[in-house]
């Protein structure tokens, strides 16, 4: 039976890498359906994403690649399957709603395992889509206690990514470390402009003529993780900060959904504090 896999490889750059990898595919009579490579000159690192099809055993293929490639190589043979995601939100519905509609429409190659929110504002919306909603209020809890409850809840699920769809609380290093490389956030500004609280107010007071949004992996530096996707829209002096916020919502939701789609289709490599997107 013919299978298909996405193969992600990164290792220190060296002569013959493409040759060794393509030889292995050729020897196994596999077809290369798509192939993209990149060498980061600064770190001398080679990145490759290949879609292959043919008859193969994924585990054997992975072990053969391990043998063929240098010791430092990261190799993933990813078989097509719906990834699982947890959404976290607060009160605003635009980013969450956009994902729910795509999910309902089967446009998103993911299963939404749960929505977790620190307010119950969005419960009604989420329930309309028959998706489990968990309201975990932060009232009368320390930040650590609150996150502890969320971590315990998340640990009950199996999931690939946590998507912060306008979750408006800052996460502690403990939380981030718990789910390293798995948390995607949408920041409501064109980072690194307007880091921190209320970027639209900051943008309004600075008098910018363009506003934007940034989807990124979350690391322990506030609004500083590897950027996956960004976009912008023009504004003018007729926009007060709530107008900017309103206009910005469209950018936020599109940028987050685009980043999510890239991640779900295994197109994103993290390279230090940057991303490589195939």
Binding to a copy of itself, residues 206-235 (CB under 8 A): 206-210, 212, 226-232, 234
- The three-state secondary structure class of 264 is helix
By the rule CB under 8 A, 2 interacts with a copy of itself: no
- The three-state secondary structure class of 138 is coil
Alpha helices in the chain (DSSP H): 17-27, 58-68, 94-104, 123-128, 143-155, 173-178, 199-206, 241-264
| Dihedral sign for Cα atoms in the order 62, 67, 68, 72 | positive
Pick one of 12, 26, 63, 144: the residue that binds a copy of itself (CB under 8 A). 26
By the rule CB under 8 A, 236 interacts with a copy of itself: yes
| Active-site hit among 106, 223, 240, 250 | 223
Q: By C-beta, is 39 or 151 nearer to a copy of itself?
A: 39
How crowded is the C-beta side of 229, counted as CA atoms within 13 Å? Answer: 21
Say if CB 218 and CB 183 are below 8 A apart.
yes
Q: Tell me the sheet residues that pair with 40.
A: 45
Which of the residues 28 through 47 are near a copy of itself (CB under 8 A)?
29-42
Q: By C-beta, is 167 or 175 nearer to a copy of itself?
A: 167
Verify whether residue 223 is a known catalytic residue: yes
Contacts with a copy of itself: how many residues (CB under 8 A)? Answer: 72
What is the distance in angstroms between the CA of the first residue and the CA of the last residue of the chain?
28
Cis amide leading into 60 (omega within 30): no
Which of the residues 130 through 189 are near a copy of itself (CB under 8 A)?
none
Stretch that binds a copy of itself, among 19-27, 71-79, 144-152, 160-168 (CB under 8 A): 19-27
Pick one of 3, 73, 78, 101: the residue that binds a copy of itself (CB under 8 A). 101
By the rule CB under 8 A, 237 interacts with a copy of itself: yes
Q: By C-beta, is 171 or 254 nearer to a copy of itself?
A: 254
Cis amide leading into 192 (omega within 30): yes
């Amino acid at each position: 039976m013919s299978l298909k896999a996405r193969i992600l490889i990164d290792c220190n750059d060296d002569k013959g890498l493409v040759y060794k990898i393509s030889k292995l595919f050729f020897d196994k009579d596999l077809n290369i359906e798509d192939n993209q490579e990149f060498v980061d000159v600064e770190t001398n690192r080679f990145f490759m994403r290949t879609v292959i099809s043919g008859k193969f055993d994924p585990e054997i293929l992975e072990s053969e690649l391990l043998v063929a490639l240098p010791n430092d190589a990261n190799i993933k043979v990813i078989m097509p399957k719906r990834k699982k995601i947890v959404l976290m939100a607060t009160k605003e519905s635009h980013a969450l709603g956009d994902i729910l509609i795509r999910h309902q429409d089967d446009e998103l190659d993911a299963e939404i395992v749960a929505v977790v929110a620190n307010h119950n504002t969005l419960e009604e919306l989420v329930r309309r889509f028959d998706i489990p909603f968990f309201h975990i209020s932060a009232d009368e809890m320390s930040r650590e206690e609150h996150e502890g409850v969320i971590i315990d809840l998340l640990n009950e699920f199996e999931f690939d990514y946590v998507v912060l769809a306008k979750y408006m609380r800052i996460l502690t290093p403990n939380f981030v470390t718990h789910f390293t490389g798995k948390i995607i956030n949408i920041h409501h500004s064109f980072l690194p402009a307007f880091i921190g609280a209320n970027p639209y107010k900051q943008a309004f007071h600075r008098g910018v003529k363009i506003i934007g949004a940034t989807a990124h992996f979350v690391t322990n530096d506030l609004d500083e993780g590897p950027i996956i996707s960004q976009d912008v829209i023009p504004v003018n002096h007729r926009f007060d900060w709530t107008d900017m916020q309103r206009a910005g919502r469209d950018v936020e939701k599109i940028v987050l959904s685009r980043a999510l789609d890239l991640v779900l289709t295994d197109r994103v490599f993290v390279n230090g504090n940057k991303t490589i997107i195939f």
